[in-house]
Structure 1
């Protein structure tokens, strides 16, 4: 079995657009992370997976295990649809908890349009290798009447408090906006409805709220939702606030991730840190994914904290440093134009600090073609207070992704960029995240340049990254 999986991975070894140090399944489709749990010294990751095709559908739960959240071993499928069961049309997203037994809580779907969505359980007694669905599934089926609809009720997120288990489920209130409903249970089986935890505004933050995460961080509570427009996936938004009498009252909200990261999942690791991992979507059409034979990547796990302004700060796990290969260091460089760097490749970890004047710009060109006519420009514009990602082909701008990013007076611009073939994860000062997919036309698109004007590079560290599958 494991030999067969390795053989499948080997088929894609020469695909220069396939990431090397991010997790993705051996082949075919992957989307949401569906449970990240530390169990007996190892991390188990479950994920939405179509084992038969590189496009969405036929939802199963894939499974992999890691000692460090970086090096992964593929395991057999954890969950599959049961004909005639509450999940006969798909095993949708959910989470994993330790209830004495490892337990998966997930959304089972039925109906031609996946319109019957209920919450189900499965447990394992053999070290998370095989899973038994509970005989009483579904354990929660009634959509709250306040919702005014019954078709969107999914993605349970569960945690334990002193008086029992709590669960939030993503949903919507018809003609109002996205909503998160709150429940309590003594045993993960009998659930008491406690009301809407928080309700959004369809004109501001999405029609449907998917994949909610709710947790305490420091002295405050954080709610993360993935906003769906009703026709397509949107941004990931987080709220920071207070939680009392089963209601959440935010005092701050912001975009957690712009562009192509969606459906993040958080967990607490062995060091009691709050970690986040998210699905990095493709940026190409179904036929291109079918031709490639694979689709979907998981982000590098990030540690979450709050800064003094109660903004969410995201830092790649420190274990990432263990992958660092050849190192380049630059410092104290004035930036007035493009400057080529010695490094050449498509898999790097970059950490840079810049001083940027009020009308200045600073950043990088990545995946630069030998003639310079194809590249990706990552540019911070101080006047616009905006982080931009420009994809350029044949000297023509073909796509721009952008997100606001304000610096305080005198604050340096800090960029952490994880480049991995077609994946670019960008974190600016830890509090602004933009994730992009860029598909270079050839493996020769591997140059790197510094960009800037009215700016100064304080320091740059650049490490080549290896494949985690060797």
Structure 2
């Protein structure tokens, strides 16, 4: 490794809003995570990247590596658009696979409005990539489908052959995940839609991720025009996926385009793009745009409930800690003690006997930047908007005999909350200064309640330049 990047990157003005332990490139635009793979003990994170500035366009594949999912080394750009070729207008989202010892990328090439499937093979260190002579290996969507889009492959090995779903939509019907098979990643045969929506879940399904988890299968989708992420849990047999349940994967508008992979420890891990929630001019002025979510380890319980939690590797960032009990009185706001440096984790333990609604709010003296509402009676949680409505309630599985735990991570302009181990709410926030920002608790119950609090200061992760 060479020099460590400063929290305020050289060439950019000091910025109290720039996250310190969520991954992001040194500067410029970043969106979808791509090509996630654990290769020979190293985690590789590729991502949509514009090296020309903090704005969408001219998409390349950025690249970073880590041994622990926390500290990262920025690698050289992995994929560049080819002038006058199938990816002249961008190397868009895709995945990475191990093809019998050869690291291989499959991604969406874009030429004008046309989308195709492109193949590139890499060296042993995943730093140098060669686009294959047979490209594009799929020239476009199947002719029998009146498709809305054709992008974002997810590829896996099954029964001695390669299988793939590509995000699409069937005009007048709804979103679709199209299933293909191949013996060699070059010759592909279209089978049929793995799953098709009815319009209620969007007209276009982007960034599909399809995988086994426990004894079931999961299909995650980023849907348009809602720009929300849904997870379907169900069964998979005879090349058909039958959903049994559906839920939003995150209650915030910032969370989008997740991708998953399995690491050497057998964990299914998810990263997602956390979009900015400020205007394009502010992003350009800052010189950076886009942050990765914390990695989330996915699990499935016996009832088919999808669980999400940060990996234990992030415990190494914990510093000063405090444990206390806070008394909550009806409609009275109580401040949770945290630092004013913008990096902390808080765990709130709500007793099993508690009822009514609880609000966790990120505030300063004049502004509420984020308010997460937990309705204990209705067993649901969501992000309250400025008009006091909750755009998306997410169901909570609550064991009446056990307390409910909430873990909140704050990182300068990101707040991610994990509720009961299976509900997540993410929000981007932009306080003018960190000095007065604090987390508060309120409850609506008429009964005074005592809640447990644990708080940790979090150190910055290390980001190195290759």
**Superposition TM-score, scaled by structure 1 size:** 0.91
Question: How far, CA to CA, are the matches of 1:206 and 1:126 in structure 2?
Answer: 40
Residue aligning to 2:145: 147
How many residue pairs match? The answer is 456
Residue aligning to 2:118: 120
Question: How far, CA to CA, are the matches of 1:359 and 1:125 in structure 2?
Answer: 57
> CA 1:442 to 1:148, structure 2 compared with 1: closer, same or farther past 3 Å?
same
Deviation at 1:359, TM superposition (A): 5.3
> CA 1:421 to 1:245, structure 2 compared with 1: closer, same or farther past 3 Å?
same
Deviation at 1:317, TM superposition (A): 0.6
Given that 2:175 and 2:205 are in contact with CA atoms closer than 8 Å, whether structure 1 keeps it comes out as: yes
- Indicate yes or no: 2:313 matched with 1:319: yes
Residue aligning to 2:460: 467
> CA 1:291 to 1:242, structure 2 compared with 1: closer, same or farther past 3 Å?
same
Q: Which moved more, 1:158-167 or 1:409-418?
A: 409-418
Q: Which moved more, 1:127-136 or 1:12-21?
A: 12-21
Structure 2 counterparts to residues 170-319 of structure 1, below 5 A: 170-202=167-199, 204-229=200-225, 234-258=227-251, 259-319=253-313
Deviation at 1:412, TM superposition (A): 3.4
Question: How far, CA to CA, are the matches of 2:178 and 2:369 in structure 1?
Answer: 44
Residue aligning to 2:408: 417
Deviation at 1:174, TM superposition (A): 0.8
Residue aligning to 1:97: 97
Higher relative contact order (CA 8 A, sep 6+): 2
Secondary structure of the equivalent of 1:222? strand
> CA 1:146 to 1:237, structure 2 compared with 1: closer, same or farther past 3 Å?
farther
> CA 1:294 to 1:118, structure 2 compared with 1: closer, same or farther past 3 Å?
same
Question: How far, CA to CA, are the matches of 2:217 and 2:195 in structure 1?
Answer: 12
Secondary structure of the equivalent of 1:288? helix
Unpaired segments of 5 or more residues in structure 2? none
Residue aligning to 1:403: 393
1:351-393 per-residue CA deviation (whole Å, 9 max, x = no partner) reads 2221376752224332x32x3555533331335544243477x
Residue aligning to 1:35: 35
> CA 1:288 to 1:188, structure 2 compared with 1: closer, same or farther past 3 Å?
same
Given that 2:370 and 2:427 are in contact with CA atoms closer than 8 Å, whether structure 1 keeps it comes out as: no
**Superposition TM-score, scaled by structure 2 size:** 0.92
> CA 1:187 to 1:6, structure 2 compared with 1: closer, same or farther past 3 Å?
farther
Question: How far, CA to CA, are the matches of 2:265 and 2:43 in structure 1?
Answer: 12
Residue aligning to 1:360: 356
> CA 1:360 to 1:197, structure 2 compared with 1: closer, same or farther past 3 Å?
same
Question: How far, CA to CA, are the matches of 2:434 and 2:8 in structure 1?
Answer: 22
> CA 1:138 to 1:419, structure 2 compared with 1: closer, same or farther past 3 Å?
same
Secondary structure of the equivalent of 1:264? strand
Question: How far, CA to CA, are the matches of 2:444 and 2:127 in structure 1?
Answer: 55
Deviation at 1:5, TM superposition (A): 6.9
Q: Which moved more, 1:5-14 or 1:129-138?
A: 5-14
Unpaired segments of 5 or more residues in structure 1? none
Residue aligning to 1:338: 333
